[in-house]
Structure 1
Amino acid sequence: MSKQPVLKNISPMIPAGNDLEKSIAFYEQQLGFKLIHKEGNPITMAVVKRDSAEIFLLKNDDQHLAEWTTFRIQVDGIEQLYQEFQVHGGHMIHPNGQLQTKPWGMKEFAIIDVAGVCITFCEPEN
């Protein structure tokens, strides 16, 4: 009776620029995450979490790496999340990433964090 392996959450480790205090503030104030762990003085690594989404922010001043880093977070209530981000100014919404339904059946929008990382929030259309 061996148990089948089950994949759970994925926790990306992303470049967060040179100023982790600024990145943490962005994730907390603009995206509604909570800081759950930090290391270093000054900070070199931090973990932020919102619901089941957990992101490791790593000090890294390679702008090119950050701009080529992207990932997706599946959500329930995408329209409400989009509105929430609009209330916070909406400055983080990618210029080409407004909320829309894609041909592959996902309703999604994208944001750019302070380091240049692109995060797409998505919800199946049905």
Structure 2
Amino acid sequence: MIVSVHPKLPMRNKAMTKSYYCNSLSFDVIGTDEFPEYLMLRKDDIEIHFFLFENLNPKENYGQIYLRSKDIDKLYQSLLDNGVPIHPNGKLGNRPWGQKEFSLLDPDHNLLTFGQSLIED
């Protein structure tokens, strides 16, 4: 039985990735720092893992993940209040597919899209 998924995204520099996710997005480091080529982060009930790819060209990176939120307005405002850049084409808005979404690009141009259903459960 599958119980969860932890996406793995490329990173060029572990310290830069760790700083962005921990300082800008309030993730916590989990696991150990013994492995310089791997990073595991957690926020609330999700984990994102990263693998070192020093030669990654950010403009050619198509890494993407979709993160569900229960209070997207509050999350979006907290990121704005902390000066976190929002993707220019990904400002908070209602989408025709029934989601309220916004997007960010991390330092390696991994696309992080945050969404909440417009239909209440």
TM-score (norm 2): 0.89
- 2: CA distance between counterparts of 1:66 and 1:78? 29
Per-residue CA deviation, residues 41-83 of structure 1 (Å, 9 max, x unaligned), is xx21010000111000111121258621111011110010101
Name the structure 1 match of 2:70: 76
- Unpaired runs of at least 5, structure 2: none
Percent identity (aligned): 26
- 1: CA distance between counterparts of 2:114 and 2:34? 28
Which residue of 31, 40, 46 maps to 2:39?
A: 46
Q: Does the CA-based 8 Å contact 2:58-2:108 persist in structure 1?
A: no
Residue correspondence of structure 1 range 21-60 to structure 2 within 5 A: 21-37=15-31, 38-40=33-35, 43-60=36-53
User: RMSD over aligned Cα, in angstroms?
Assistant: 1.5
TM-score (norm 1): 0.86
Distance 1:47 1:65, change over 3 A: farther
- 2: CA distance between counterparts of 1:64 and 1:98? 21
